[in-house]
């Protein structure tokens, strides 16, 4: 004798829907609506209660268990359902075991609407322009011979997304047909013309040339122009190593003068191609909305992201009992699949709501005070609180997002490992990263904090972190080492 879990089609569908992101789920729902005539979308203003055959035996039935038993600050509004005239037409052999009307009331007032003055449809729907197409557009406006235009197109193809020429002029010249008899001087002359295109600095072969091209396009009356051009032409390596004493000696400048020259150079863009956005915008649709109302944190599902479905009452009424014809069997199977799909959607929403509620309960400090108040949290903690397996929690927190007053975060963001404190407590890695970021922001830029110094400051606050751990957290924040953070005040 033994026990085993059978992966029924219903269970497989529920698991698959659970791990889908909101955008993928919307596509899945649309495919289900197109393939199953028994499913239909509830439009605004429709009488959901009187037309939905899925509400059988659902009079005065609560939508979902209230989450206030362990978290009084979180409230979930539910609706009751009533029987309709359709209930007599549903065959008894197809019992209804779900109610899609079990929904959570939500308010998405914090999300932009089409009526908002700040809502720009173009910036949210238009595809980005590539750097090559932007340069080719300028090339079409420039008068030049057919040969020069061929050279220019080849050069533009060799410019990478950052705006730099990847291939050498010799390699580009060697790639042309010998019958064209194109010389290296011709290629270089065309390159100089392309380097006058926008964005400024495009087509450069080195960082120094890129910055020099941008300086040449500035007004001639710009202060410290000559010194900045000399700096990027002759001493770019010393600037990169931040050897300011050597720069002051070689350029014969005082500290304040060198600072102004460096400020002019730092106002330039070392990656001019990045100004032209070539990738399509990526959208994040929050699954859960968290807001504060009267000192309570309210957790609500974003119902605007997921359309509500119901069974078509007219088609469901065509299903006849004890009819084994092919048409009736098809309709019966479609009705059963519609019920399974709606039940899986409801299960997904309820699981997501439970997990989000527990996360908000655990991380109220973060919502009130920010990253530094983030508490340690692992999947096991939430799984134990909601009575589910860790794998289920992992699925429900992947590619699911929470809209909070502090921004939109993936649910996995609220999970972090812990570090022991001197008092025997625990501090989350997210909070430590926030403290490191704060320390670096307040440091003396002439003498930036080293990793060892940061570890010492954390230890003074009771947080025991090794230097290697500080370096790992610093790199994850995109903060450069102390040698690269040094500034000339």
Q: For the residues of 375-400, what is the DSSP string, one character each?
A: PPB-HHHHHHHHT--HHHHHHHHTT-
CA distance 404 to 401: 10
Are 397 and 386 a contacting pair, CB within 8 Å? no
With b for 16 or more beta-carbon neighbours within 10 A and e for fewer, the 228-244 pattern comes to bbebbeebbebbeebeb
- The beta strands (E) that lie in 197-279 are given as none
Where do the DSSP E strands lie in 11-169? 39-41
Q: Is the dihedral of CA 225, 228, 230, 232 positive or negative?
A: negative
**Residues in the chain, pLDDT under 50:** 48-116, 118-126, 489
pLDDT score for 403: 92
Instruction: Note the pLDDT tens digit of each residue in 260-284.
Output: 888 898 889 888 888 876 566 677 8
Q: What is d(CA 447, CA 486) in angstroms, rounded to the nearest whole number? A: 6
Do the beta carbons of residue 49 and residue 82 sit within 8 Å? yes
Cβ neighbours for 200, distance < 8 A, ≥ 6 positions apart: 213, 214, 217, 269, 272
Cα–Cα distance for residue pair 328/323, rounded to 1 Å = 6
Alpha-carbon span 292 to 101, nearest angstrom: 26
**Pairing of β 426-428 and β 418-420:** antiparallel
- pLDDT reported for residue 168: 87
229 neighbors 215 (Cβ within 8 angstroms): yes
* SS3 sequence of 395-418: HHHCCCEEEECCEEEEHHHHCECE
Q: Which domains does the chain have, with CATH numbers?
A: 9-109+286-403 (no CATH), 131-275 (no CATH), 416-485 (1.10.10.60)
Question: What is the spatial distance between Cα 375 and Cα 383, in angstroms, rounded to a whole number?
Answer: 17
d(CA 372, CA 365): 9
pLDDT, residue 6, reads 62
In whole numbers, what is the pLDDT of the chain averaged over residues? 77
Cα separation, 78 vs 65, in Å, equals: 9
- For the chain, the first-to-last Cα distance in angstroms comes to 78
Residue tagged 């407590």 (tokens): 425
pLDDT at 374: 84
At 315, which helix (H) or strand (E)?
A: helix 313-316
Provide the phi-psi class of 72: left if phi over 0, else alpha when psi is between -120 and 50, else beta. Answer: alpha
> CA of 350: how far to CAs of 5, 346, 386, 395, in Å?
22, 6, 11, 14
Quote the Cα angle for 355-292-102, to 5°.
45
Three-state secondary structure call for residue 271 = coil
Residue identified by tokens 């963001």 is 413
């Amino acid at each position: 004798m033994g026990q085993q879990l059978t992966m029924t089609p219903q269970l497989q569908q529920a698991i698959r829907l659970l791990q889908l992101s909101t955008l993928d789920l919307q596509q899945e729902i649309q495919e289900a609506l197109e393939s199953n005539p028994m499913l239909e979308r509830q439009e605004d203003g429709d009488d959901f209660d009187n037309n939905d055959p899925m509400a059988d035996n659902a009079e005065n039935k609560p939508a979902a268990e209230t989450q206030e038993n362990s978290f009084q600050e979180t409230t979930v509004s539910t609706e009751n359902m009533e029987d309709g005239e359709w209930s007599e037409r549903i065959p008894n052999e197809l019992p209804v075991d779900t109610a899609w009307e079990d929904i959570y009331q939500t308010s998405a007032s914090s999300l932009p609407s089409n009526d908002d003055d700040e809502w720009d449809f173009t910036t949210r729907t238009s595809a980005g322009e590539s750097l090559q197409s932007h340069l080719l557009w300028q090339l079409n406006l420039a008068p030049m011979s057919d040969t020069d235009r061929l050279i220019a197109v080849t050069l533009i193809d060799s410019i990478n997304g950052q705006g730099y020429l990847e291939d050498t002029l010799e390699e580009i010249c060697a790639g042309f047909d010998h019958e064209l008899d194109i010389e290296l001087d011709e290629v270089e002359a065309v390159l100089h013309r392309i380097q006058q295109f926008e964005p400024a600095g495009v087509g450069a072969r080195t960082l120094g040339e890129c910055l020099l091209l941008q300086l040449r396009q500035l007004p001639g009356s710009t202060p410290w122009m000559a010194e900045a051009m000399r700096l990027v032409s002759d001493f770019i390596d010393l600037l990169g190593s931040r050897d300011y004493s050597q720069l002051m000696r070689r350029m014969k400048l005082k500290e304040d003068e060198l600072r102004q020259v460096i400020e002019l150079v730092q106002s330039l863009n070392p990656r001019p191609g990045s100004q032209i956005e070539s990738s399509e915008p990526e959208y994040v649709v929050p699954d859960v909305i968290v807001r504060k109302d009267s000192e309570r944190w309210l957790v609500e599902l974003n119902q605007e992201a997921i359309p509500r479905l119901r069974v078509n009452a007219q088609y469901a009424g065509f299903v006849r009992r004890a009819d084994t014809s092919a048409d009736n069997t098809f309709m019966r199977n479609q009705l059963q699949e519609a019920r399974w799909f709606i039940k899986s959607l409801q299960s997904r929403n309820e699981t997501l709501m439970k997990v989000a509620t527990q996360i908000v309960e655990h991380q109220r400090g973060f919502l009130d005070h920010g990253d530094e108040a983030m508490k340690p949290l692992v999947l096991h903690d939430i799984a134990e609180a909601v009575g589910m397996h860790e794998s289920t929690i992992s699925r429900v927190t992947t590619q699911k997002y929470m809209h909070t007053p502090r921004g939109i975060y993936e649910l996995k963001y609220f999970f972090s490992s812990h570090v022991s404190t001197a008092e025997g407590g625990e501090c989350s890695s997210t909070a430590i990263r926030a403290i490191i970021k704060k320390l670096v922001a307040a440091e003396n830029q002439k003498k930036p904090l080293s990793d060892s110094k940061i570890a010492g400051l954390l230890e003074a606050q009771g947080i025991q972190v090794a230097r290697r751990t500080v370096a790992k957290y610093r790199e994850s924040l995109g903060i450069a080492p102390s040698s690269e953070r040094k500034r000339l005040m």
